Structure 1
Amino acid sequence: MSSPDQTGQRHSWFEDVQALIIGTLFVSLGLVMFRQVGLMTGGTVGLAFLAHYATNLPFGPLLFVINLPFYALAWRRLGKRFTLKTLAAVTLLSSLSELTPQWLGFAKLEPLFAALAGGLLIGTGFIILFRHRASLGGLNTVVLWLQERFGWRAGLVQLALDSLILLASWPWMDGQRLALSVLAAGAMNAALAVNHKPGRYMAY
């Protein structure tokens, strides 16, 4: 008898909706921790951080705008359903990233803990979104397409791209925060590499 992971069952709309909410909430919590201690991350979220640090423009709208060019790739390569769910996830994260700091604050937050816990929260949020055929747009879309097209491990490809973005953040980071940001990227992508392997989760 086939296991649930081999049946390729379609998620219901309710399952997709709750996944978008929970996944983006996990990511927004991780990002709040990063912003509290001044850490960076990769992907289009990292690009939005770079633009935010360089221009002082609000992070949420920057994230939404930076993702716009990638929707064409998502539509052509991964389909309408994926693209619409990704658009919903990005819009939700853009809103949560501005609202969550108004709802949640930290009296004390150690940077090392923020790097590890925040990275794992973000990685877990990505896994939830990926397993419901959604992403946070941009480079996540490219990474997911490469995994589905060539079988490349999403976590490893994401780690390579994230490393390049972290290096680009050097002008706005000191050595300690950059090292902790690298550690955070490692935690995030370790969660992806271990828990999101090609063919392991077949629902869609």
Structure 2
Amino acid sequence: MKHETGAMAGKTRGAIAATDTIGVPHSVFEDIYAMIIGMAFVVVGLVLLKAAGLVTGGVAGIALLASYVFPLPVGTIFTLVNIPFFLFAYFTMGPRFALKSTVASFGITFALAAMPQTFNVAFINPLFASFVGGTLCGMGILALARHGAGVGGTGIVTLWLQRERGINAGISQVCIDATILLASLATIPAGRVAWSALSAVAMSGMVVAWHRPGRYTGR
């Protein structure tokens, strides 16, 4: 009897281990809820950074930087920059990922357009804006990545590099972010570029620390 009980316990542990390894699929509700939360994090982070006149890494940083040069809303630039990356996502990451990423991008664009009537920042310390804004953007990107989506742009490329080449998404993002920050020196003062660098580190740090292969088994 003890032998049978031990065998059953062993099978149970084995089944649990197998489930942990394979990963439990997310439900449709979980995907939708996570994408809404992820988009909200990114939008609030961008609002804080924009209020302080900063940029950050990734496609969000490109959109912010371009908004200081061209008379277009951040959300509009965000979508325009993303178009070629969505095509890349469709052919390299699959239609499901591309569709989710497109939905996330348009959701962020529409939410940013509504922010002036919803959320207004009269004053913000650049240190707070850079760290909290960058961290919120990173949390949003992480939430979307966990549920098979991206915010578009360079994030899609870094996720593809991690999946296909084993290159950590956060590390490759840091390299891209450094290029964006160097380009921003031609547009914004060096002091704000320094704060922007902190925001890029905070954003990528979220991905480096918590988006590692094998750390999360949900699908």
Fold shared by both chains (TM-score > 0.5)? yes
How many equivalent pairs are there? 204
Corresponding residue number in structure 2 for 1:199: 214
**C-alpha contact 2:130 2:195 (8 A) present in aligned 1:** yes
Runs of 4+ with >6 A deviation: none
Question: Match for residue 176 of structure 1?
Answer: 191
Equivalent-residue separation in structure 2 for 1:54 and 1:155 (angstroms)? 28
SS in 2 for 1:55: coil
User: Greater relative contact order: 1 or 2 (C-alpha under 8 angstroms, separation 6 or more)?
Assistant: 1
Over aligned residue pairs, what C-alpha RMSD do you find?
1.4
Which stretch of structure 1 is more off in the superposition, 99-108 or 115-124? 99-108
Shift of 1:76: 1.3
Match of 2:157 in 1: 142
1:6-25 to structure 2, matched below 5 A, reads 6-25=21-40
Matched, 1:81 2:96: yes
Establish whether residue 158 from structure 1 lines up as the match of residue 173 from structure 2.
yes
C-alpha distance in 1 between matches for 2:108 and 2:71: 19
What are the within-5 Å matches in structure 2 for residues 22-101 of structure 1?
A: 22-101=37-116
What corresponds to 2:125 in structure 1? 110
Q: CA deviation at 1:50?
A: 2.4
Contact 2:54 2:64 in 1 (8 A): no
One-letter amino acid of the counterpart of residue 129, structure 1? L
8 A Cα contact 2:23 2:218, kept in partner: yes
* 1:153 aligned partner, one-letter code: N
Distance 2:43 2:33 in 1: 15
Q: Which amino acid aligns with 1:88?
A: V
The alpha carbon displacement at 1:151 in A equals 1.4
Q: Using structure 1 for the length normalisation, give the TM-score.
A: 0.95
Q: Is the 8 A contact 1:61 1:94 kept in 2?
A: yes
Q: How far is the alpha carbon of 1:4 from its aligned partner?
A: 6.3
Which whole-Å deviations, capped at 9, do the CAs of 1:111-167 have from their partners, x for residues lacking one? 101111111111111110000010011111100000011111111111110110111
The one-letter amino acid paired with 2:206 is A
Give 5+ residue unaligned stretches, structure 2.
Answer: 1-15
Larger radius of gyration: 2
Describe the shift of the 1:161–1:104 C-alpha distance in structure 2 as closer, same or farther (beyond 3 A): same
In 2: Cα distance, 1:81 partner to 1:202 partner: 18
**Is 1:39–1:181's contact at 8 Å kept on the other side of the alignment?**
yes
The answer as to whether partners of 1:32 and 1:101 remain within 8 angstroms in 2 is: no
Which deviates more, 41-50 or 29-38? Answer: 41-50
| Structure 1 segments unaligned to the other structure (5+ residues) | none
Task: Please give the alpha-carbon distance, in whole angstroms, between the structure 2 residues aligned to 1:125 and 1:170.
Answer: 26
Q: Displacement, 1:7?
A: 2.9
Deviations 1:63-121 (A, max 9, x none): 11111111121111111111100000000001111212321123431110111111111
Q: Are the structure 2 counterparts of residues 5 and 171 from structure 1 closer, same or farther at C-alpha, using a change threshold of 3 Å?
A: farther
Preserved contact between residue 150 and residue 156 of structure 2 (Cα < 8 Å): yes
Do the aligned partners of residues 107 and 72 (structure 1) sit closer, same or farther apart at CA in structure 2, a change above 3 Å counting?
A: closer
